Amino acid sequence: MSTAAAAATPLPAGRGPRAIPSWRRTLGAGALFACAWLYVFPHYPQLNNPNENVRVYMTAALVEEHGYEISRFRARWGWTNDAACVDHGPDGTLAPCSGRVERDHHRRYYSVKAPLASWLAVPGYAIARALQDTPMQRDDGLWWMRLFASGLPMLAFFLFFHRWLGARVRSALVRDATFVALALGSVMLGYAYMLASHATSGATALVSFALLHDAHRGLPDGRRARSAFRAFLAGLFATATTALEYPCFFVTFALCVYALVALIGGDTNESASKLGRVGRTLGRLAAFGVGALLPVLMVMHFQASAFGSPFSPGHLFVETEGLRAGHESGFFGADAFRWDAAWKLLFHPRLGLFATTPFFAFALAGAFVAWRKDRVATLVAGLGCLTTYLVICLMNNWEGGWVIGPRYLVVTLPFVAVASALGLDAMARRWRRGTHVLALGAAAASLVTGGVPSLYPHVPPDVDWPLAHLFPALLELGRAPDNPLLALGVDGAVSLLPLAVLALGAMVFASQRTRDGWLLVGASGLCAALVLPQVALAPEPSAQVTETVSYIAQHWD
């Protein structure tokens, strides 16, 4: 390996080739996610999930009425929360709705969510509408909308992630264990199942960062990837992150600052004139700016059309008065630092980043490894993640309602996964077998603690220990998400056996089909040690928890 190649990545120099995967290996990794996504259809219409329904309404409005207003679809399909209600006065003034409609006033309803997810779902709704002879009902095209807004984008991302990560670690086992932990063992899977934008915002953020990192530090072979097209894509994905999820603004800001470092200067073509090098730099920056401008203009057009100003999101027009009051407190709900949020977002058995995916515990070590080699990239990623975390700790709705994991921190998960891989890879050079035990065991545990909740990504706030109190009860009652075997009449719990086989196959894939018995025994022991406390330490369920579990079981279909 050349000196230039060694300096091109944020990994310490060391012997041995990087674990750059073959395309066959990458396609196999993608197939694991695709099979998990396609086999089950977590859909619970009686819960009236506002996070998803309001996006469905907006997608229908875009296709059928070529606009953003969802008033007619609320009248057709029923009320859903997370809508903005705008009172249009006779003089053209706009105000949040309050009380009865006054004379000469008109009320219009819009989605309060960032608009890009609804736009991504448009092809799915259009296809479902074309295939159906009768008028569309609310859930008729949901599978198709989820496919285009979440399923296909996340599949493309995981193919990219596996390939890009493999060029930056030396251990193939660490690479594939990281992939399994993120794609199948984190709540990113649960949000990828829904017409939501938490998972896709994490995907766009990491892709933008990767493109800028390759422009700044170069590819593993020492070449700098600095074309104008890649700069355009980096800008497009950077601002698309916020166009998917408004709270991701700080990640977008960090990526835009990184672009100024990654795309300026650094041309090594000595034969080129100074004017030529300046011209290429300006061209790259212009390409990044054009790409970044497209999602920004889309968001501004939506906000101007719905709320009267391109700079006004709909949170101050929220229909539900209690939610609107929360957004009016402080800066859109950021009004005071909450120490319980700081702790629970990391360690709570239902909400915690490290509790739902134990594999991410190695991220801190990885941050030190990355800092030693590339401080700029580490600072950008770290500030983007840390700022998002601190801002969510300031929010009065930091928990996010009926959720799995740290809902508003999902954008940071790909970055945490990369850091975990870097930390484990550095450890593997000095302690290979022990590190592989840690990687496999933590990935296997994550399939349980993060993968199982993904089948029901709506855990209510009063169920603090879902692995102990909720999911065993649901399986005992035969409650399982829609899947092909369930449709054929197979018992609910039995119908999920193909997913168990898939999880086992994922671990075989991650282990590189090792025959090292001690490694497998050690990984199994670590998996049990990480999972069992979430069951053994759970207190006896309270009457409220028992009532909530009963409610979920009764309103399953």
Q: Is the pLDDT of residue 168 over 60?
A: yes
Provide the token pair at 294. 């497209």
Residue 321: band (very low, low, confident or very high) from pLDDT cuts 50, 70, 90: confident
User: How far apart are the C-alpha atoms of 455 and 482, rounded to whole Å?
Assistant: 10
pLDDT of residue 446: 98
pLDDT of residue 222: 65
Q: Are 43 and 144 in contact (CB under 8 A)?
A: no
Taking the domains of the chain in order of start, what are their residue ranges?
A: 3-45+143-554, 48-142
Terminal alpha carbon distance of the chain: 57
User: How far apart are the C-alpha atoms of 557 and 41, rounded to whole Å?
Assistant: 12
Give percent of the chain above pLDDT 70: 94
User: pLDDT tens-digit profile of 359-408?
Assistant: 999 999 999 999 998 999 999 999 999 999 999 999 988 998 899 999 99
Alpha helices in 78-169 (DSSP H): 116-120, 122-131, 142-146, 152-166
Helix (H) or strand (E) holding 419, with range, is helix 413-428
Count of helices and strands (H, E) across the chain: 28, 3
Cα R_g (the chain), whole angstroms: 24
User: pLDDT tens-digit profile of 100-153?
Assistant: 777 777 889 999 999 999 999 999 999 999 998 888 988 899 999 999 999 999
Structure-token match 């073509």, residue found: 269
pLDDT of residue 97: 86
User: How far apart are the C-alpha atoms of 494 and 478, rounded to whole Å?
Assistant: 9
User: How far apart are the C-alpha atoms of 487 and 61, rounded to whole Å?
Assistant: 31
Give the contacts of 334 (CB within 8 A, at least 6 positions apart).
Answer: 391, 394, 395, 396
User: How far apart are the C-alpha atoms of 414 and 443, rounded to whole Å?
Assistant: 15
In this structure, the number of other CB atoms found within 10 A of the CB of residue 493 comes to 14
Q: Taking the C-alpha atoms of 493, 496, 501 and 503 in order, what is their torsion angle to the nearest 10 degrees?
A: -110
Helix (H) or strand (E) holding 4, with range, is helix 3-6
Sign of CA dihedral 68, 71, 74, 75: negative
Would you give the DSSP letter of residue 47? Answer: G
Helix (H) or strand (E) holding 175, with range, is helix 172-183
User: How far apart are the C-alpha atoms of 53 and 64, rounded to whole Å?
Assistant: 16
Instruction: Give backbone dihedrals phi and psi of 84, rounded to 5 degrees, phi first.
Output: -100, 135
User: pLDDT tens-digit profile of 198-252?
Assistant: 999 999 999 999 999 999 887 776 677 788 999 999 999 999 999 999 999 999 9
Is the backbone of residue 516 left (phi > 0), alpha (psi -120 to 50) or beta?
A: beta
Instruction: Give backbone dihedrals phi and psi of 405, rounded to 5 degrees, phi first.
Output: 65, -175
Is the backbone of residue 282 left (phi > 0), alpha (psi -120 to 50) or beta?
A: alpha
83 forms beta bridges with 111
Q: String of b and e for 373-382 (b: at least 16 CB within 10 Å)?
A: bbeebbbbbb
User: pLDDT tens-digit profile of 68-84?
Assistant: 999 999 999 999 888 99
Structure-token match 């509408």, residue found: 129
User: How far apart are the C-alpha atoms of 383 and 394, rounded to whole Å?
Assistant: 16
